[in-house]
């Protein structure tokens, strides 16, 4: 009886059913599209962060950069004694490498890693030490020949008390000088902790990755792009901090970015020793045991390490700039509010049409109540009709949303994003770090941006479909409940009298 009456009423009131269904379909289709694009933007942000922080990393722990203390000797400067280098033809040739902690990061005791690993909810954690290798090589004039004192002395900006004026000119022994300052980033990491952190976000290009057997050894893995630009290859050697390292492999980014988190990767214990940072690290990368507990784990870690900066992937995503950030803001603000407004309008239309339909059916409901229909049965009948109308709209809305998602994926709009990472400014002949007549010695560490271009892909998930179905049912129930309540208030005598 219920089904037969329901079908008859929906067929007889096709116009109302069509209007309510279309309104619901448009609203639900928009909600599906916005949610899907939002998920796509989040995936794009993860791709941008991947090359900097590593896939599989839920939480990153660091410490804010500390202001230099008065009288402190900044790292990354070159010290040359009176007997440094070799002199020939009135020109002294000097060469030196330094390996120091990145100036934009603060190192802290690696005992914090044990605290992190012992925190409930932490699945894996590893520590890294971000360093900058700076290499000076050049020719200086023999100062004794020009009447100056101090022998080879100290290079300008070397951090010593000696001061020496260096003539400008070419490296031809006629009182001139020529020098190069080159720098690249070095990341010290635990070779056994590749499941989390920067090396989890790379693919092997040549050779092999670092493993447990590399602890304490002078082996290095290079970013493939850097290796190409520096004319280095697996099996060769390179100088890091004055020590010769063997290149055992090269890696490339798994994302669309062409570079990884660092130019070179070496064992953590070796990095600590060469940079005079024994027992120190600059970052800890953490994976939570349950993705739903990331915020709770982050809060626990912040409590355990009150002086540290604890950042989740959501926090890091807020640092992504470029058109990707603009898209994220647009969806978070305009897209979300537009979806809510359209959805509210669809619900309101459904409610108003249902109430209007109930008003036009006054005689019908009065007759049904006169023949024994209870208020509950009247409400159920009206609610049933509204829920079916909502479900019809939901089905159409899902189809509309899926078509919209398909269009977005076919167009695949390109977005660019940048995530800040700590690197060193590249030096070289004529570069910012030095060169003939160049500035000071040593390339200053700076916050660089790893820029990635990604094609937006809107995923379809079961969750989005379930949301659509839930909204369709909710809209139908709201309209049916309000319309049914109005119908139930009708008294049989009054209803029949109002028609007569």
Structure tokens given for 437:
């007549």
pLDDT tens for 150-197 read 444 444 333 333 333 334 444 444 445 666 778 899 999 998 876 677
Distances (CA, A) of 412 to 66, 140, 311, 405, 476: 43, 56, 30, 10, 35
Structure tokens given for 365:
């409901």
Residue 155 pLDDT? 44
Tell me if 462 sits within 8 A of 469, measured CB to CB: no
Highest mean pLDDT among 46-60, 116-130, 483-497: 116-130
Helix-helix angle 375-411:14-53, to 10 degrees = 50
328 CB burial (10 A radius; 0-12, 13-18, 19+): buried
CA quadruple 484, 488, 490, 492: dihedral positive or negative? positive
Tell me if 183 sits within 8 A of 102, measured CB to CB: no
User: Can you tell me the distance from the alpha carbon of 323 to that of 318, in angstroms, rounded to the nearest whole number?
Assistant: 13
Structure tokens given for 357:
């339909």
Could you state, in order of their start, the residue ranges of all structural domains in the chain?
2-46+324-413+457-499, 64-307
pLDDT of 117 strictly over 80: yes
Q: For residues 44-79, b (16+ Cβ closer than 10 Å) or e, as one string? A: bbbbbbbbbbbbbbbbbbbbeeeeeeeeeeebbbbe
Report the predicted TM-score, pTM, of the whole model to 2 decimal places: 0.56
Residue 438 pLDDT? 33
**Cβ partners under 8 Å of residue 273, min gap 6:** none
Q: For residues 123-147, b (16+ Cβ closer than 10 Å) or e, as one string? A: bbbbbbbbbbbbbbebbbbbbeeee
Length of the chain: 500
* Angle at the Cα of 97 from the Cα atoms of 91 and 100, rounded to 5 degrees: 145
User: Can you tell me the distance from the alpha carbon of 159 to that of 76, in angstroms, rounded to the nearest whole number?
Assistant: 9
Q: Where are the alpha helices (DSSP H) in 312-374?
A: 313-317, 323-330, 336-360, 362-370
Residue 370 pLDDT? 74
User: Can you tell me the distance from the alpha carbon of 500 to that of 415, in angstroms, rounded to the nearest whole number?
Assistant: 67
Kindly report the average pLDDT of the chain as a whole number.
Answer: 73
Query: If we measure between CA atoms, which residue out of 164, 161, 135, 169 comes closest to residue 152?
Result: 164
Query: If we measure between CA atoms, which residue out of 247, 243, 281, 257 comes closest to residue 203?
Result: 257
pLDDT of 324 strictly over 90: no
pLDDT tens for 13-58 read 777 778 888 888 888 888 888 888 777 776 666 666 655 555 557 7
């Amino acid at each position: 009886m219920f089904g037969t009456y329901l079908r008859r009423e929906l067929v007889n009131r096709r116009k109302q059913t069509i209007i309510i269904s279309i309104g619901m379909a448009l609203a639900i289709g928009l909600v599906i599209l916005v949610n899907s694009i939002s998920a796509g933007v989040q995936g794009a942000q993860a791709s941008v962060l991947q090359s900097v922080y590593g896939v599989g990393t839920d939480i990153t722990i660091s410490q804010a950069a500390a202001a230099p203390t008065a009288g402190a000797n900044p790292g990354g400067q070159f010290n040359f004694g009176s007997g440094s280098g070799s002199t020939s033809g009135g020109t002294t040739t000097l060469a030196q490498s330094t390996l120091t902690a990145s100036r934009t990061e603060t190192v802290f005791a690696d005992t914090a890693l044990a605290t992190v690993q012992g925190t409930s909810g932490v699945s894996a954690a590893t520590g890294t030490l971000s360093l900058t290798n700076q290499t000076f090589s050049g020719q200086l004039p023999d100062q004794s020949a020009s009447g100056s004192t101090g022998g080879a002395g100290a290079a300008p900006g070397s951090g010593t008390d000696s001061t020496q004026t260096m003539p400008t000119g070419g490296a031809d022994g006629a009182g001139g000088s020529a020098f190069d300052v080159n720098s690249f980033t070095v990341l010290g990491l635990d070779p056994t902790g590749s499941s989390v952190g920067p090396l989890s976000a790379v693919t092997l290009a040549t050779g092999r990755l670092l493993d447990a057997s590399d602890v304490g050894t002078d082996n290095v893995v290079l970013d493939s792009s850097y290796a190409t630009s520096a004319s280095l290859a697996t099996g060769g050697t390179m100088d890091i901090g004055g020590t010769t390292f063997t290149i055992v492999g090269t890696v490339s980014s798994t994302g669309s970015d062409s570079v990884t988190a660092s130019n070179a990767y070496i064992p953590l214990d070796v990095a600590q020793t060469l940079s005079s940072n024994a027992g120190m690290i600059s970052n800890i990368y953490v994976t939570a045991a349950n993705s739903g507990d990331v915020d709770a784990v982050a809060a626990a870690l912040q409590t355990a390490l009150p002086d540290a900066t604890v950042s989740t992937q959501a926090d890091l995503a807020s640092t992504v700039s470029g058109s990707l950030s603009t898209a994220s803001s647009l969806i978070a603000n305009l897209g979300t509010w537009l979806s809510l407004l359209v959805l509210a309008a669809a619900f309101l239309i459904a409610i108003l049409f249902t109430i209007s339909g109930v008003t036009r059916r006054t005689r019908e409901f009065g007759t049904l109540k006169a023949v024994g229909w209870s208020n509950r049965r009247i409400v159920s009948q009206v609610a049933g009709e509204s829920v079916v109308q909502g479900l019809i709209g939901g089905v159409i809305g899902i189809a509309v949303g899926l078509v919209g998602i398909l269009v977005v994926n076919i167009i695949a709009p390109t977005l660019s994003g940048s995530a800040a990472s700590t690197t060193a400014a590249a030096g070289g002949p004529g570069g910012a770090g030095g060169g003939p007549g160049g500035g000071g010695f040593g390339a200053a560490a700076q916050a660089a941006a790893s820029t990635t271009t990604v094609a937006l892909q809107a995923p379809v998930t079961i969750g989005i479909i379930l949301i659509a179905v839930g909204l369709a049912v909710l809209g139908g129930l709201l309209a049916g409940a309000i319309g049914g309540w109005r119908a139930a208030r009708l008294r049989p005598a009054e209803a029949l009298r109002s028609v007569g």
